[in-house]
A and B are shown apart, each in its own frame.
Chain A
Amino acid sequence: MKQTTTIDKGLTEPYQINMGPQHPATHGVLNLLLTIDGEIIKKVEPDLGYIHRSIEKMCERDSYQQIVHLTDRMDYLSSNINNEAVCLTVENALQLEIPERVKVIRTIIGELTRISSHCLWWGVMGMDVGALSTFFYGFRDREMLNDIFEETCGARLTMNYNVPGGLMLDIHPNFVKRVKKFIAHFKTKIPEYDRLLTQNVIFQKRTKGVGVLSKEDAISFGVSGPVARASGYSCDVRKYHPYSALDKVKFNECLKTEGDTFARYQVRIMELWESMSIVEQLIDNIPEGEHRVKTNAVIKLPKGEYYQKVETARGELGVYVISTGTKNPYRLKFRSPGFSNLSVLNHIAVGGKIGDLVATMATLDLVIPDIDR
Chain B
Amino acid sequence: MTISIININYNLISSIMLEESMSILNMILVALGYLGFFAVAGLFLVLMERRVAAWFQLRVGPNRVGFQGILQTMADALKLISKELTGTVKADKFLYNLAPYFVIVTALMGLAVFPFTKDIQAFDINIGIFFLIAISSIGVIGILLGGWASNNKFALIGAMRSGVQTISYELSIGLSLLTMILLTGSLQLSEIVEVQKSGWLIVQGHVPAIIAFMIYMIAGTAETNRAPFDMVEAESELGAGFHTEYSGMKFAYFFLAEFINMFIIAAIATTVFFGAWLSPFGITESLPWLGVFWFLGKTLLLVFLMMWFRWTFPRLRVDQLLTLEWKYLLPINLVNIVIMALIVWLNLTIQF
Q: By the criterion CB–CB under 8 Å, are A133 and B316 in contact?
A: no
Q: By the criterion CB–CB under 8 Å, are B314 and A355 in contact?
A: no
Q: Is A50 interfacial (CB-CB < 8 Å)?
A: no
Q: By the criterion CB–CB under 8 Å, are B58 and A140 in contact?
A: yes
Which of A124-132, A283-291, A304-312 makes up part of the contact surface?
A124-132
Q: Which residues of A contact B237 (CB under 8 A)?
A: 25, 354-355, 358
Do A15 and B153 contact each other (CB < 8 Å), given the known contacts A25-B236, A130-B230, A358-B236? Answer: yes
Tell me what chain A mostly uses at the interface: helix, strand, loop, or mixed: helix
Specify which of B230, B238, B239, B317 is in contact with A356 (CB 8 Å cutoff): B317
Given the complex of chains A and B, what is the CA–CA distance between A354 and B231 in angstroms?
Answer: 11
Q: By the criterion CB–CB under 8 Å, are B314 and A203 in contact?
A: yes
Q: By the criterion CB–CB under 8 Å, are A137 and B58 in contact?
A: yes
Q: Is B281 interfacial (CB-CB < 8 Å)?
A: no
Number of interface residues of A (CB under 8 A): 30
Q: By the criterion CB–CB under 8 Å, are B58 and A17 in contact?
A: no
Q: Which residues of A contact B59 (CB under 8 A)?
A: 136
Given the complex of chains A and B, what is the CA–CA distance between A312 and B223 in angstroms?
Answer: 44
Q: Is A39 interfacial (CB-CB < 8 Å)?
A: yes
Specify which of B57, B228, B313 is in contact with A136 (CB 8 Å cutoff): B57
Given the complex of chains A and B, what is the CA–CA distance between A197 and B153 in angstroms?
Answer: 31
Q: Name the distance in Å between B130's Cβ and chain A's nearest Cβ.
A: 32
Query: Which residues of chain B from 192 to 249 have a CB within 8 Å of any chain A CB?
Result: 227-228, 230-231, 234-239
Q: Is B169 interfacial (CB-CB < 8 Å)?
A: no
Q: By the criterion CB–CB under 8 Å, are A17 and B319 in contact?
A: no
Q: By the criterion CB–CB under 8 Å, are A24 and B314 in contact?
A: no
Q: Is A196 interfacial (CB-CB < 8 Å)?
A: yes
Q: By the criterion CB–CB under 8 Å, are B228 and A202 in contact?
A: yes
Given the complex of chains A and B, what is the CA–CA distance between A126 and B227 in angstroms?
Answer: 13
Q: Which residues of A contact B141 (CB under 8 A)?
A: none
Given the complex of chains A and B, what is the CA–CA distance between A42 and B228 in angstroms?
Answer: 26
Query: Which residues of chain A from 23 to 37 have a CB within 8 Å of any chain B CB?
Result: 23-25
Q: By the criterion CB–CB under 8 Å, are A39 and B157 in contact?
A: yes
Q: Is A252 interfacial (CB-CB < 8 Å)?
A: no
Q: Which residues of A contact B311 (CB under 8 A)?
A: 132-133
Given the complex of chains A and B, what is the CA–CA distance between A43 and B84 in angstroms?
Answer: 37
Q: Which residues of A contact B53 (CB under 8 A)?
A: 132-133
Closest 5 CB pairs of A and B: A130-B315, A136-B57, A129-B314, A131-B314, A355-B317
15 contacts across the A-B interface (CB closer than 8 A): A23-B239, A25-B237, A129-B315, A135-B57, A202-B316, A206-B314, A206-B315, A353-B318, A354-B157, A355-B234, A355-B315, A355-B318, A356-B317, A358-B236, A358-B237
List B residues at the A interface (Cβ < 8 Å).
53, 56-59, 153-154, 157, 227-228, 230-231, 234-239, 310-320
